[in-house]
Structure 1
């Protein structure tokens, strides 16, 4: 590589570092979906969705953990739009079967994550915390959503106010 040239994959490193610093200061973090981080599954919120969250706590419970440990992977609640945003493994969008009660999104979308310490309204907040050791597994999630049928049913074109595309 020529002196002074910037590697293509490093072109947005400064922006990502600034975003991470903003997150540490309590500001929202905007991250691209897909790639190596995560995809998302968007559902309605409400009693049916909360039932799925509580059962996912059981599915993801760590053996030997305290009974009150919430083990579900990261879930964001957006009370203004009555939806839950489940962070699922990267690549889920490619294998996600069409689902009546959920929309799965990856690249080219970006998502603004709430500050890590935001665990209640106002605004979007972490219903289940973002931890480095887990995401929500897609297959059990799809099964639970089919079982509990949370609504209203999200559609990709209706999610524009909380998602953007990478330009």
Structure 2
């Protein structure tokens, strides 16, 4: 594990941020390049299916049984209610897995990160969590 500060990766997902390649995972500050929406495993898996190709990168946490969607920064400002989902932002950290880590142990990409489509639209995610397509 490594510890990343905002200056280490770049200003935005669109510019130069990408998952680590040198460690199993890196603790990364939330609210800089993206916010993260934390959802329990069961509702999260159903939301992945509902979103289909509109789903961006999703980090899986096998220990806490959570899924974390990467969404645009400041999404939490307008997040509202979506069941058990919580939007994490500034002052939070997320263990971001290496690009090629697609299964446990440890954090992994439940939906692989792809440059250019890493973020999920918060409105679509909210609808998917409410059972809409």
TM-score (normalised: structure 1): 0.64
RMSD of aligned Cα (Å):
2.3
Which position in structure 1 is the counterpart of 2:39?
43
CA distance in 2, matches of 1:81, 1:146: 22
**Counterparts of 1:12 and 1:98, CA distance in 2:** 29
Matched, 1:34 2:31: yes
Give unmatched runs, 5+ long, in structure 2: 10-16
Q: TM-score with structure 2 length normalisation?
A: 0.78
Uncovered stretches (5+) of structure 1, i.e. residues with no partner: 1-10, 61-71, 149-167
Secondary structure at the residue paired with 2:24? Answer: coil
Distance, in Å, in 2 between the alignment partners of 1:113 and 1:140 is: 22
Whether the 8 Å contact between 1:40 and 1:86 is mirrored in structure 2 is yes
Does the C-alpha gap of structure 1 residues 34 and 120 become closer, same or farther in structure 2, counting only changes over 3 Å?
A: same
What is the match of residue 81 of structure 1? 64
Q: Which has the larger radius of gyration?
A: 1
Structure with higher strand content: 2
Instruction: Return the structure number with greater helix share.
Output: 1
- Aligned partner of 1:144 in structure 2 is 128
